[in-house]
Structure 1
Amino acid sequence: MTGFTLRYTVLFFVVFCSHFVCGQISYSIPEEMAKGSIIGNIAQDLGLDLKRLKLGKARAFSGDVKEYIELNRENGLLLIKENIDRESLCGKITPCVILENPMELYRITVEITDINDNAPHFQRNEIIFEISELSVVGAKFMLENAVDLDVGVNGLLSYSLKPTDNFDLQFQSQTDGEKNMEIVLQKPLDRELQKQLSLTLTATDGGEPSLSGAVNICVSVLDVNDNAPVFEQKIYKTTITENAAKGSHVITVRASDKDEGSNGLISYYISKAIDLNNVFIVDPQSGKITLNGQIDYEKANYYQLNVHARDQGGLSDTCKVIIDITDVNDNQPVISILSRSNTISEDSKPGTIISMFNVNDPDSGTNGQVYCNINGNIPFAIISTSNDFFSVRTEQELDREREAEYNITVTCSDEGVPSLSSSASLRLQISDVNDNAPVFERNNYEAYVVENNTPGLSIFTVKASDVDSNQNARVSYILEDSTVNGVPVSSYVTVSADSGVINAVRSFDYEQLKDFHFRVKAQDGGSPPLSTNVTVKITIQDQNDNAPQVLYPVQTDGSLVAEIVPRSADVGYLVTKVVAVDVDSGQNAWLSYKLQKATDRALFEVGPQNGEIRTVRQVTDKDAVKQKLTVVVEDNGQPSRSAVVNINVAVADSFPEMLSEFTNFTHGKTYNDDLTFYLILALAAVSFLFITSVVVIISVKIYRWRQSRIFHHSNLPVIPYYPPGYTDTGVTGTLPHMYNYDMCMTTDSRKSDCKYSTLGGQKILIMDRSFTETIQHAKTENNFLEDPDSPELVRGSLLYNRNGYIFLNVGIGHLLQIYLQFCLSYSEGRCSTSLP
């Protein structure tokens, strides 16, 4: 095979989306340059910045397994990496300079020039000819050409033959342009004079300095063989597939010789060449050429053989056999990844290039035509930037939350039959962008907490999730500012920023706060952060933490309530009604009444639902005047709470009788000494008489004084006024309205009798230390009506307190208030009365 100039080609591509700009630069260097030798300055010749080479990770790439050229990123120089021998390579190699981020591809051609480092040489050390002495002048004898691996001027050969007494050197042009070298007989041979001749054939190349090689030609003079073999064809052509088995028949050449006998016997042989390596052999007798080794179309697509036919007399002829190799699809495409991105942001725009690769298929024709595709339904596509270069780019928008990683399998197949293919895998991570806000598990939350909770109690947990990753998915919980009943919500609850646990700041009271709302914000850690709000409702559940409260009868420290039941009362007579409330709710506020203790259980009963105390039977004279009842008011909570009210009932037909017995309720057992009792009784009587006298005198004087002034200022006659008498039409009262009450008051065991009687009207007898305090107390605590025409509230209520004062509210329509203040003290002995 003929030699030729070796060229490296470096592609120049600048990638902008799907558009490419191409350019080319060439260098020429001699072969056998030392390692590290400079080929050229890429940065200067292409106008590239050295920083661009560093940041773009520039490198040289070629299709060969062995890299002969490398790129220095620091200074932009293209250097010799491995020793280049043009004769061993003898082919085209395409290195590339690749830049990443963004990706660029440059094509550069490096021409390897030949140096005269190979001398011409012949395949055999000696050439032997047997020439008949009858050979005529002008007989030609074929010689083998010398081989020089150099090319160009270094490979141009000139031949010289010494001596030239009998033979001359000539060249014969062939139809394919090559020349055959022959020695031509110049004068007849005489075997008797010279049996053998020795010639020296020298081949010299055209290099500087020139190199030469020589071979010895030995000529044996034979006797009488004047016809040389002649081939039937000067050129034979045939075809064989590259995967043909060893021993396959290639072609048969034939030559004929007109001589007879041993001079007509022909033997065949192939002229040896360095690149054949005994791939083909010929049968010396038949001329059948067979395959003796493996042939590869990718290494050589044809072979040319020089076959010689020689007779026994040494005469020979030569023919050329051209063997064309038919390509077979026996090579898979080879994928070389030039550049790749391992990570890409999910907000990358469609068309972003993630990888560039080169595909090489050494087969020819359709067997070497390659197409590539991506396996699976993924948002990536392959585009071809040139014949052998491809890039993978995004085809759609990416979403890390839908797919966080892609295993991209690129399959490249040729168009041979059968088709061969190869694959390469790219693993691409999708980096997260904060494009998703946190999402709560519910649209709203409702939690329940029992009142009287411990501050710091964990009430509830809100939970939000973020489908982003890492910091973008880190959720923090924030309590939004708001107020509950004018108070910041932060004084009621707190929210843990990390866990979303809602804790109570204070102890809740159902009676003050039933429920409240607030909002919690879930915010991720992205930049900028995204957030979502949710409403949380906290409902306070009631707890039975309040005992029933008795509103009536009023219970004060040291005070007793006395109800009067006439002996003539019928069955079912309403003695009084216990009124109680419970500030709890639900079943915790359901009240029931029960008579716990009674002086005579057979006389009274309590309504379990309404608290009314009624007589069970007819009151008789045998019944005790003093009746003490204990009523328990109980709620329905778990556990239940209760309140106890003590009610004193006097069974009497007259007020003095009742009063006498009433006094004994509290002091009946205080003093048992008769002497002391009578002393106190005498003192009380004297004091009462004195006070009564003073009050009567003062009242008469005041009355006369007021009458005189009215008469003096008015011309109308004086018409006396008499209070009307009201009739009790109800059945729930304790005392009839038309009763005349006799009331006696005592302090301790010291008795002082006083009788105050009016006809035809209702009375309220009030005894206290201060007129103003007593009236106010009567209005607020006992609900007196200021309107004279309003109906009574409660009748027959008698209150005896520890200070020795009696407050009697008899509930009348026309309100008459009488204030009487006693000072029953041993030391002071004062008594004052006033009548408003």
Structure 2
Amino acid sequence: NFTLSDYMLIICSSCVTMAGFTLRHTVLFFVVFCSHFVCGQISYSIPEEMAKGSIIGNIAQDLGLDLKRLKLGKARAFSGDVKEYIELNRENGLLLIKENIDRESLCGKITPCAQHLQMILENPMELYSITVEITDVNDNAPTFQKNEIRFEISESAAPGARFVLGRAVDPDVGINGLRSYLLNPTDNFVLNYEAGGDRNVEIVLQKTLDREKQARINLLLTASDGGEPPLSGTMQIYITVLDVNDNAPIFTHGVYKATVTENAPKGSKLTTVSAFDADEGSNSYVTYFISDAVGSSVANKFTVHEESGEVTLNGQLDYEKSNQYELDIQAKDQGGLSDTCKVIINVLDINDNKPTINILSMSSSISEESKPSAVIAMIKVIDPDSGANGHVHCTINDNIPFVIASPSNNFFSVRTKYELDRERNSEYNITVTCSDEGVPSLSSSASLRLQISDVNDNAPVFERNNYEAYVVENNTPGLSIFTVKASDVDSNQNARVSYILEDSTVNGVPVSSYVTVIADSGVINAVRSFDYEQLKDFHVHVKAQDGGSPPLSSNVTVKITIQDQNDNAPQVLYPVQTGGSLMAEIVPRSADVGYLVTKVVAVDVDSGQNAWLSYKLQKATDRALFEVGPQNGEIRTVRQVTDKDVTDKDAVKQKLTVVVEDNGQPSRSAVVNINVAVADSFPEVLSEFIDFTHEKQYNDNLTFYLVLALAAVSFLFITCLVVIISVKIYRWRQSRIFYQSNLPVIPYYPPGYTDTGVTGTLPHMYHYDVCMTTDSRTSDCKYSTLGGQKVLAMDQSFSETMHHALKEKNLLEDQSSAEMVRTCYSFFVIGPSIAGCTRVLFWCVCVCATDRVRDV
């Protein structure tokens, strides 16, 4: 509620030289505080004809606005005219010339001439009024309607007679407008004109004309303006001297007035002018015409009857363009004498214009969290009609959460009525209807389309509360296992869901080393190849997070189950397959049908049917002698071992090949080779299997270790030899008789064989405790450990053979020899971890000690 006296007026002037003239800026500041937004007013003064791009003023500086405010507020200035002459550069805050401004075309004679602009800022909305006054420059010379004019003047014309010449027209105003006239020569006539006035220029006869002396007179009329430098225009005056018409016509009224509506049809009568001439005859005949001093644009709209003086409408009038016209009507008699009157025509307004709706600023979208009364559009409504015809009120369509208000004259704002919800309605079409108060009322409408922008107020939601996925083991790394899906009812970035693998561990290892989640699609990919035998299942936690700020999220648990694949072949636990020696099972020839030779024990680390094992005999020296249990792997005899005579006797050396298969698809298998000795005596076994124990393997990489072992063995051999010889000498003194023997006597330890009847893939426990030797210099004595029990074996079948051999050779003729054998045996037993060559040396020492050097 400020008054004009409260405004602060600041006048800043700066001089800028442009195109040879001085540009003077005058800036006026008016600040008005309105009820809903800030209104400001600023004025500039510029000359016309400034070049395009010329600077009018710095809006940002003059209004105290930040350049950033101009950019973010999308500042723009406009006048609402068809052609925009001035533009605002929001980058630097300068008000610039957009189009060349011709003050005369824009305003004519109206002063002051100004362009009225409005500048709108958004967020928050602000309205500023800008007035740019266009000052005149002397760019137009005075011009006459005609280049020449002719008069016929009677010689009887008395001094003081006046002859109307019309007047020059200079579109410029002020000091640049028409200022003076100059007549040359001035022998007979002088000028009569009103300085700065609008009346016609007259020449006044100052002395009587003499046709006999000068029948024709040529004058030059020059019109000059007040510019710097001054400009001028000329008109030739040709005077023909006549006789005898000494009275000029005189109008009954100096000024005539008429009223007409703007929609009046062509030919409508406006008024009638009348002039009286005191002369008689032809000299009193008066004709009427519109003076040449009236512009052609105005003269074309009206006509005057040459004889009657009736003024009629000759064109269409528009109150909004001009509400008043002035005509100069001239009356002339036959002698060339004339008089002039003025006709003023007032145009009455009718309601012929609909309100024009100009959307000054509009938000194409608004956040759903906007508060009530938030401005979404600023509208200026213009109705060029006058009075009630130009009074406008606006409404909007019903059932929408918006209202329209008028913060100031001709300005309307569309505001929110209450809170919005994009999920309920994401778009509104607002129709603004503006009507004037004319009779009949005219109206116009404009549509506003408003998008409700989303706010991140909804978290993503998974399709299920939990998921379960399955993957077959031995998968390829990078394999897609499963896809989780979450949706968000928000829009755009707020609805863009990203999937994140939550940190957790599986068996102490980060879950990210097992699987990964593609952020955009939610596809869970395997990072590694899974092994069912090591990992059966695990859980991962996936978080769905939207792209809002701040983001919202939800979690879901995915159980990933590893499915078994037949990727492991059966493993044979017994009999143990070794490369250094061959084990042999002993079957006595007296064995009955169904005799349990041995049992193949195997396991499969797979699960389900992939771990179901079956056994079958693939190859055998005599397939009719043995069979394998398909479920338990037991090898039994299927008939009595033949021992009738030499020809029908079963071979001592039997080799069996057993295949162990699982039930997978495709199935996997393992092969085990089993040596079986069919014999009742050790020599028979020894003769058949001697080659098995005589296998030597050479490895060039062990050369160093063999040399080192040889040195150690040599030292031990010499030491033992000295000890044994000393013992032998001592014993020899005690007893001189020693019995001869091919083999030393060694205690026999029978094998412990146990079959607990365990089935499936669990191993049976077999215990072999055997210590054997031969009298062959190629033999080798070995220790073997099986199933966690110590087993001393030449071969696994060698113990039985040696047992029979010792029973046949159980001769101890001397107590001292028996003691020596026990000593040798103790040397043999205490070194189970010594290499085979060392044990051979021990045995040689024992043989030497028993006087069997020749056999060695």
The TM-score normalised by the length of structure 2 is 0.51
Residue 209 (structure 1) shift: 0.5
2:329 corresponds, among 297, 307, 311, to 307
In structure 2, the partner of 1:165 is 187
Deviations 1:81-139 (Å, cap 9, x if unpaired)?
A: 11111111115432222222222222222222211111111111222222222222222
CA distance in 2, matches of 1:39, 1:165: 52
Could you say if the C-alpha distance between residues 79 and 424 of structure 1 is closer, same or farther in structure 2, counting changes exceeding 3 Å?
same
Q: Aligned to 2:169, what secondary structure does the other structure show?
A: coil
In structure 2, the partner of 1:54 is 71
The reply to whether residue 391 of structure 1 matches residue 416 of structure 2 is no
* Structure 1 unaligned spans of 5+: 445-453, 457-462, 478-497, 500-521, 534-836
Letter aligned with residue 169 of structure 2:
V
1:379 corresponds, among 377, 401, 407, to 401
In structure 1, the partner of 2:319 is 297
Within a 5 Å distance, the mapping from 1:283-432 to structure 2 comes to 283-432=305-454
Residue 532 (structure 1) shift: 14
In structure 1, the partner of 2:764 is none
Residue 464 (structure 1) shift: 12
CA distance in 1, matches of 2:92, 2:471: 73
Q: Aligned to 1:70, what secondary structure does the other structure show?
A: strand
2:256 corresponds, among 236, 249, 267, to 236
CA distance in 2, matches of 1:79, 1:464: 54
Could you say if the C-alpha distance between residues 71 and 455 of structure 1 is closer, same or farther in structure 2, counting changes exceeding 3 Å?
closer
The reply to whether residue 202 of structure 1 matches residue 222 of structure 2 is yes
Deviations 1:13-46 (Å, cap 9, x if unpaired)?
A: 8999x43333333222211111111111222222
CA distance in 2, matches of 1:15, 1:397: 27
Could you say if the C-alpha distance between residues 357 and 144 of structure 1 is closer, same or farther in structure 2, counting changes exceeding 3 Å?
same
CA distance in 1, matches of 2:38, 2:441: 33
Letter aligned with residue 218 of structure 1:
Y
Determine what percentage of the aligned residue pairs are the same residue: 69
Residue 320 (structure 1) shift: 0.4
Within a 5 Å distance, the mapping from 1:38-49 to structure 2 comes to 38-49=55-66
Within a 5 Å distance, the mapping from 1:29-108 to structure 2 comes to 29-90=46-107, 92-108=114-130
Q: Aligned to 1:94, what secondary structure does the other structure show?
A: strand
In structure 2, the partner of 1:22 is 39
CA contact (8 A) 1:239 1:326 kept: yes
The reply to whether residue 188 of structure 1 matches residue 195 of structure 2 is no
Letter aligned with residue 245 of structure 1:
P
Letter aligned with residue 74 of structure 2:
K
Letter aligned with residue 362 of structure 1:
P
Number of residue pairs aligned between Structure 1 and Structure 2:
484
CA contact (8 A) 1:406 1:428 kept: yes
| Larger CA deviation: 132-141 vs 18-27 | 18-27
In structure 2, the partner of 1:804 is none
CA distance in 1, matches of 2:298, 2:24: 21
Could you say if the C-alpha distance between residues 436 and 395 of structure 1 is closer, same or farther in structure 2, counting changes exceeding 3 Å?
same
CA distance in 2, matches of 1:380, 1:89: 40
Residue 172 (structure 1) shift: 5.8
Letter aligned with residue 129 of structure 2:
R
CA distance in 2, matches of 1:15, 1:227: 68
Residue 197 (structure 1) shift: 1.9
CA distance in 2, matches of 1:139, 1:28: 47
CA distance in 2, matches of 1:433, 1:118: 62
Q: Aligned to 1:43, what secondary structure does the other structure show?
A: helix
The reply to whether residue 257 of structure 1 matches residue 257 of structure 2 is no
CA distance in 1, matches of 2:236, 2:25: 38
CA contact (8 A) 1:119 1:211 kept: yes
> Could you list the runs of 4 or more consecutive aligned residues of structure 1 that deviate by over 4 angstroms after TM superposition?
5-16, 434-441, 463-477, 522-533
Residue 314 (structure 1) shift: 1.0
In structure 1, the partner of 2:569 is none
Could you say if the C-alpha distance between residues 405 and 468 of structure 1 is closer, same or farther in structure 2, counting changes exceeding 3 Å?
same
Q: Aligned to 1:367, what secondary structure does the other structure show?
A: helix
CA contact (8 A) 1:97 1:107 kept: yes
Deviations 1:739-789 (Å, cap 9, x if unpaired)?
A: xxxxxxxxxxxxxxxxxxxxxxxxxxxxxxxxxxxxxxxxxxxxxxxxxxx
Could you say if the C-alpha distance between residues 93 and 331 of structure 1 is closer, same or farther in structure 2, counting changes exceeding 3 Å?
farther
CA contact (8 A) 1:10 1:106 kept: no
CA distance in 1, matches of 2:244, 2:320: 50
Within a 5 Å distance, the mapping from 1:555-704 to structure 2 comes to none
Could you say if the C-alpha distance between residues 120 and 475 of structure 1 is closer, same or farther in structure 2, counting changes exceeding 3 Å?
closer
The reply to whether residue 214 of structure 1 matches residue 231 of structure 2 is no
CA distance in 1, matches of 2:398, 2:544: 37
In structure 1, the partner of 2:822 is none
| Larger CA deviation: 20-29 vs 204-213 | 20-29
Q: Aligned to 1:52, what secondary structure does the other structure show?
A: helix
Within a 5 Å distance, the mapping from 1:657-806 to structure 2 comes to none
Letter aligned with residue 70 of structure 1:
E
In structure 2, the partner of 1:727 is none
Q: Aligned to 1:44, what secondary structure does the other structure show?
A: helix
Could you say if the C-alpha distance between residues 323 and 471 of structure 1 is closer, same or farther in structure 2, counting changes exceeding 3 Å?
closer
Q: Aligned to 1:419, what secondary structure does the other structure show?
A: coil
CA contact (8 A) 1:231 1:254 kept: yes
Residue 168 (structure 1) shift: 1.6
CA distance in 2, matches of 1:474, 1:38: 48
CA distance in 2, matches of 1:383, 1:465: 40
CA contact (8 A) 2:86 2:96 kept: yes
Q: Aligned to 1:276, what secondary structure does the other structure show?
A: helix
CA contact (8 A) 2:179 2:195 kept: no
Letter aligned with residue 247 of structure 1:
G
CA contact (8 A) 1:12 1:105 kept: no
Residue 204 (structure 1) shift: 0.9
* Structure 2 unaligned spans of 5+: 1-22, 108-112, 473-484, 500-520, 523-542, 557-856
CA distance in 2, matches of 1:221, 1:325: 43
In structure 1, the partner of 2:645 is none
CA contact (8 A) 1:9 1:110 kept: no
1:270 corresponds, among 290, 295, 304, to 290
Residue 436 (structure 1) shift: 6.6
CA distance in 1, matches of 2:74, 2:456: 30
In structure 2, the partner of 1:604 is none
CA contact (8 A) 2:149 2:235 kept: yes
CA contact (8 A) 2:189 2:204 kept: yes
CA contact (8 A) 1:11 1:108 kept: no
Could you say if the C-alpha distance between residues 19 and 395 of structure 1 is closer, same or farther in structure 2, counting changes exceeding 3 Å?
same
The reply to whether residue 227 of structure 1 matches residue 240 of structure 2 is no
Q: Aligned to 2:116, what secondary structure does the other structure show?
A: coil
In structure 2, the partner of 1:744 is none
Q: Aligned to 1:95, what secondary structure does the other structure show?
A: strand
CA contact (8 A) 2:256 2:342 kept: yes
CA distance in 2, matches of 1:29, 1:476: 59
CA distance in 1, matches of 2:25, 2:321: 17
CA distance in 2, matches of 1:293, 1:6: 41
Could you say if the C-alpha distance between residues 195 and 400 of structure 1 is closer, same or farther in structure 2, counting changes exceeding 3 Å?
same
Deviations 1:552-599 (Å, cap 9, x if unpaired)?
A: xxxxxxxxxxxxxxxxxxxxxxxxxxxxxxxxxxxxxxxxxxxxxxxx
Q: Aligned to 2:408, what secondary structure does the other structure show?
A: coil
